[in-house]
Structure 1
Amino acid sequence: MGSLQHRALTGELMQETAVLHRLASQRADQHDAHLTALSAIAVASDDPEQRLFLEVAATITRFYPRISAIALMPLASDGASVGAALTPALAAQVRAAAQASDGEIALLADPGQTGHYIMVKRSPNSEAARYGLTIFIDAARLLDDAGALWNRSGIHVALSLPDGTRLYQHGTAAQAGLTRTLGSASQPLLLETARSITMADLFPPLRSGLTVLVATLLAGAALAFLRQRQRAGQALEQARLSALDSRLAHAARVNALGELASGLTHELTQPLTAILAQAQAGRRLLARDEWGRLAPVLDDTVTQARRASAILERFRNWSRPQAAPVQTFDLRDAWNNVAALLAPQAGAQGVTLTFDLPADPVTVRADPVEMEQVGFNLLRNALEALRDRNAGQIHVTLRGQAGIAALTVCDNGPGIARDLRARLFTPFTTTRADGTGLGLALSQRLVERAGGEIVLEDSAQGASFRITLPLERAP
């Protein structure tokens, strides 16, 4: 009996630890989404008082009590922070962490609040960062509502920073337990759990006496009773775990909202930058009374504004399943538009951009704007990879045969590192310090929604992406 009870208590600890680890990891991942959304708001705002930033920060702290404070610290001066007030020593520490960042989020112990830790993100996430974005987190609240087990005597649970700084502890570990790192790339906190098992736990007096008595007099009835009790306990446990899964699903939806906000900022940067450049060019032409050259500039501005509007519409329909693609069109037209947009940038970098398109139409059924967005993302990534490379080359090949439209984008850049290939199309995976890692994730979603596939091919040099789409008979 003692051996069975020991196995049951140990198994309960392992099962509850797995649930607690999932819950804490999911909550930690939410912090990344909050930082990304707040950073986008702070960088985009031209309000010196950052009122929109403060409103969003207040909403986050109201709905997520474990986030005790949010602050935005200017890096270019010794000015006061926006949001939570920081001591001079802590402000200097935050500035130093943001300025020393290579793109990763810094974790610090909060010197002013026991059991709290600080996340510091440079904003924007590049060498031209203007702010140190900071959130303060109550570590104990990462483990709230995790189950009654963690409040019992004899149970040990602790949470520590990667450097060993203890943030939270309940009970004392009298026996060897479990140690797991949270599944959050930015917050790899150490979760420790253990259980002290005594003789009273292995052989409860009342239960032992009843077991002996019932086993002697009513062995069959006792066996049936124990089996029924076990089934009832399993049903209750399953109901509790189902409730936890529902909360985790809600947390996943919150993360998706953060990714959506970051993706929107990422994708709108190009058309908005083009609109700004065209507006500045138009103003210079007006100053020189060159009215005849103004019309093409205004036409390009209108085109980019419509492109931004189309991107917003794509994001609005991001989660809506489509019964069928939008229309049948020639895929060559989409890539000719992409070439017209990126040819100036390629020429400025000294990159040779070649297109091998067939003479006959390659018709597919998809959204033309979405396919242009996919092409724009792939060519822009290739140009970024060739930024510091002499004699850079990008070759685009399109073929339509056997019912399949196959398009390949190859460059002679440094290629993709082996450790990144498995998660290349996962959101926030990037090799650039100022990248958001959403371009390829969005491209994969758009291609798959059109019934196609996008993959990274093995290549002797550089990177090679291949897109396949089902061909459609031309109308």
Structure 2
Amino acid sequence: MAGGTIPSLAAAHLRLGRAAVGIYLAASAVALSLLGALLFTEQSHTEAELRKQVLLQSADRAHALQNHLELLTRELRRLGLRSEVDLFDQNLEPERSLLGVSHGSSTFFNLGVSILGADGAVVWAEPKRFLPVGQSFASEPWFAGLSRTRSLRIVAVAPERTDDSTLYVVSPIVRSHAFQGAIVGGIDLASSHTLSIQDRSIAGAATILTTLDGRVVFPARPPAFASGPRWQRLFRKGGAATGKLTEVEVDGRQNVLAIAPLEGTELNLLLLVDEATLFHSARARLQTRLAAGLLLALLPLLALIALLRHSLRIFRQGEERAMREERLQRVGEAANLIAHEVKNSLNGIRMAAELAVGPPQPKSRAERALAELRGEIERLSNFTGDLMTFSKGIKPRPTRLELSELASKISLLFEAKATEENVQVQVVPPPQPVWVSADPQLLRVALSNLVNNAFDALSARRDESERGRIELRVETSAGVAHLLVADNADGIPEHVRSRLFEPFQSGKANGVGIGLSLGKRIALAHGGDLELVSSARGAKFRLTLPREES
């Protein structure tokens, strides 16, 4: 049964475990795929929302800048409507005074304020370095459009220096429906604190101001990517009328570019954000969720593998135990038969030896031989008794007994042998009696085997300078009683210890391997145990039994 059924059960368990792991891996793969699809869909939606946020921010920023520019145009319109401004009266002194006062108190036009005549020439400027008197703008398209439409204009001007970002706010001067010229306010966006072009609402965002055809007005030094056909395609006619969102590559990195027009002007406001910076938090959150999902999938898998390995180990241990029990059963049947036959023969030999020895008389050589023969017969009789007990199984008939008293009786049994071999047998009792419920005959068998093993070990020891000693000590702890048998021989070899209590395993040259295995089974049958414990010298065995209250 055990040789065929248990291995097949272990193999079936292994196949079942592999199938369970495979099913779990497949289910986990499906779940992780669904989780990944869901998270990546959410990530795509989040990135789209962030791009939309960039576009909205660019529109908000454009609206704010547009409001600033409207303030400037209203300031110039107010100056143009002042009664002092009349270029047909040939008297420029009122205009000069007005420009001086206006520029001195203005917080808008940081470059200066100037008056142009109807012919486009500069009549006066404050400060004078702003625009030289006589400089003509008649050929500029914006001046021609101003004289024709007579409406306010905001003009991006090519800077004279590389660090300038110049805007002109131009207001026409009209008297009696006649175009007399214009008032020009100059702003350098690079140094103006009134018009805050830079956007700080999105981390790492850069703001660019361009004309409708894509010429960069701000910053003063245009970015390297703000040129070429691809850049120009962004500003085709009508391309940014209602805003545009696109992607551009800057220094090998992808950037989101939002374009928002400034209504009523010929300008666009652009917001440029590095994708890695913009999506950093969202991508970090995606990675964290994926890692958490993978970890949550791995932890049950590891637990399942550990559980399967543990159960498989139990199955294999059960298989080995069943095979060992089957082997012991067969050996026991054979041993029972052998022991029965040997015991019958020994009984006859013992009776013959006793008749030959007769009543006590001075011993002759033959008589000593017969006495030795009787001792060997006794040893064989004990062995066959152990063998029969081992083969039939342990069935204790417990009675209440005191362990120290039992230990003393065992020591008396070996008194003659101890004297003959010069071995000290000592019993160390506890302060109080220790009571147990056990079969006294079985305990005598177990303890006698332990003491006999100690005698054998002492007779085979290498160092005989110290007198042999065997100690039987009774102790108690936590509801159990211990009876320890220790000697001062050479101890148990390491290679023998792992199989010390297995049947027919012995560390002695002439040992059979029944005594310790039988003692272990006797202890287990009483609800206790027999084990080898560490000792500084020699061997020490501990027989543990459940303790009874006195």
TM range (shorter): 0.3 to 0.5
Q: Which has the larger radius of gyration?
A: 2
State TM-score, norm by structure 1. 0.38
Q: Give the TM-score normalised by structure 2.
A: 0.34
